[in-house]
Amino acid sequence: MYDDDDEGGLSNQEKAAILFIALGPEYSAKLFKHMDDDEIERITLEIASHKQVSAEQKAAVISEFYQMAMAKDYISTGGLEYAQNVLEKALGSEKAMDIINRLTTSLQVRPFDFLRKTDPSQLLTFIQNEHPQTIALIIAYLEAPQAAAVLGGLPTDTQADVARRIAIMDRTSPDMIREVERVLERKLSTLVNQDFTTAGGVEAVVEVLNLVDRTTEKSIMEALEADNPELAEDIKRRMFVFEDIVNLDDRSIQRVLRDVENKDLSLALKATPPEVSEKVYKNMSKRAADMLREEIEFMGPVKIRDVEDAQVKIVGVIRTLEEKGEIVVARGQGDDMFV
């Protein structure tokens, strides 16, 4: 990477790893028995990446874990209001509210939660014969990377239809979601939130299209332009593709480069217009730019899919930094600009 600056607070996965380190091998092994293979693998990799953990970090993570565990116990004993009252007396209102908010969020079960750990290829086989509206509903509730993989694996004519249905989707009642889940799962998932849930919309399609390969993206957009030009134009205004990096200011590009792997950057620039490459080189040191040019020159032929995958990764970095407020991405022109 071009920069290894610390990006701030700990993620939940990092906190879990620190907790396991603090507990030691014996107790960690007992906890692993109650976890699935994917969870064990993620935590193990995280533990391996933490060569040094300070005593302060261990103490803070253990304290947070204890508070969350006690809060969950209070909720099961006397309900949410009882738990909040007890925590306020022990920790103060601000700390109590923070714990309750985080805990209630983690306790909620999102629709189609049972599908989120399914491999996209298996999920595709599972749902590809469903009605396009059913597929659209499912994809709208998946995480963007999984949704992109599923959408990209659908037949070309179905892709555009499903993308259109996601874009125009408004609100779906819990009863409708439960009915679809009933067909897809033997045992119903519990819906904690009984309010109408919002999924889909233009932003949902934009997020998915920014993650699928460029061939799939172009195919879907061409079909949408033929079917609904106004909707297609709205989606295009909000999308960010790799070539749009030329529209970022220099400081934003420099910030993006700090989070991009060298191999992804060289692959991504392998088949881009000269103005895109020059914009990147301009925001690197002369030595780094020369090394990157040389790496691309001697790379040899590469698969288009590999280039597209690298570009998608960099777009993902840009979107993450935008969401954090660390860079500004301009979309559209004139009065249609979004920041």
Provide the token pair at 226: 């033929």
Cα 251 to Cα 269: distance, rounded to the nearest angstrom: 19
Class of CATH domain 113-238: mainly alpha
Q: Please answer whether residues 284 and 292 qualify as being in contact, where contact means their C-beta atoms are separated by less than 8 angstroms.
A: yes
Cα 212 to Cα 139: distance, rounded to the nearest angstrom: 13
The residue ranges of every structural domain in the chain are 12-107, 113-238, 242-336
Residue 280, C-beta contacts closer than 8 angstroms, at least 6 positions apart: 245, 253, 257, 265, 269, 289, 292
For the domain bounded by 242-336, which CATH number is listed? 1.10.220.30
pTM score of the predicted model = 0.38
Of 213, 240, 205, whose CA–CA distance to 310 is shortest?
213
- The answer to whether the 113-238 and 242-336 domains have the same CATH topology is yes
Give pLDDT tens digits for 162-191.
998 888 887 676 667 767 776 676 433 332
Residue 278's pLDDT band, with cuts at 50, 70 and 90, is: very high
Give pLDDT tens digits for 89-107.
777 888 777 776 666 555 5
